[in-house]
Structure 1
């Protein structure tokens, strides 16, 4: 019966190096598409989640884990508020008035999207970062 050669600890990969390898990889802005269509679609999706006509899980691939958790909390609060007032979920009527964005660093976009609804005008602040060859929102705020 053949025996397996002993593996020396120096030949084992460092777990820290492995986690870095499998962690999200930053992507340069030159390798990413124009962020404006993504910002518009993400804003529409977030507003639909808060109005109760879209499941928050549908936005999971567009946002980081931390931003997703905050979206879940905010959407649950919005659902409770609708329930307390007896207001059913309905598709929001919004129009995007403007999208302003800048790039403070390579692969990073900070933006403000101004949205008008019949009741009021609001702003959505978003920070995008290039990860794994696509834009992902790392921070979202509905103002």
Structure 2
């Protein structure tokens, strides 16, 4: 039976000693390190409505949202495109204006908001959860109601 090599337990070789995500993954930010979320909420809502209408490419939102939100929006965009194709309707830039924005901060570095979107024949609500990561806001949840 061959001799086993000695196990090294110093910081350079121990995989369990340090988790790389602790240092190299996204870092949570405190509210004092983050800018005012109002502009981000309005811009993000505007872009999401245009993406759903097919007037804007989803890729433009990639840096503002988490991977889970991106996948969720991607599925909704595919369904919306399929629905437009079946109906024979071309994508158009939607006509809307942003209304009231209601926000709350349930935890340090987290903002939850509802933005009203006024369209000619109805009013929609877009619920957004922003989290401070790496000293900037990123949307960790978006729901278009």
Shift of 1:33: 0.8
- Any stretches of 5+ residues in structure 1 without a counterpart? 1-6
**Residue 31 of structure 1 corresponds to which residue in structure 2?**
33
TM-score (norm 2): 0.90
Shift of 1:42: 0.2
- Secondary structure (helix, strand or coil) at the match of 1:136 reads strand
Map of 2:44 onto structure 1: 42
1:35-82 CA-to-partner distances (Å, cap 9, x unmatched) read 011000000100110010111111010000001100100111111111
Shift of 1:19: 2.3
Question: Paired residue for 1:68?
Answer: 70
4+ aligned runs moved over 4 Å, structure 1: none
Deviation at 1:137, TM superposition (A): 0.2
Task: Give the match's secondary structure for 2:42.
Answer: helix
Structure number with higher helix proportion = 1
State the superposition RMSD in angstroms.
Answer: 1.6
Task: Decide which of 75, 98, 101 is 1:99's aligned counterpart.
Answer: 101
Aligned to 2:91: 89
Kindly state the Cα deviation for residue 119 of structure 1 after the two structures are TM-superposed: 2.0
CA apart distance, 1:97: 1.1
**Is 2:122 the partner of 1:135?**
no
Q: Distance in 2 between matches of 1:82 and 1:36?
A: 32
Unaligned runs of 5+ in 2: 1-6
TM-score for the superposition, normalised by structure 1: 0.91
Q: Residue 130 of structure 1: SS of its match in structure 2?
A: strand
Counterpart Cα distance in 1 of 2:77 and 2:43: 17
Q: How many positions carry a matched residue from both structures?
A: 138
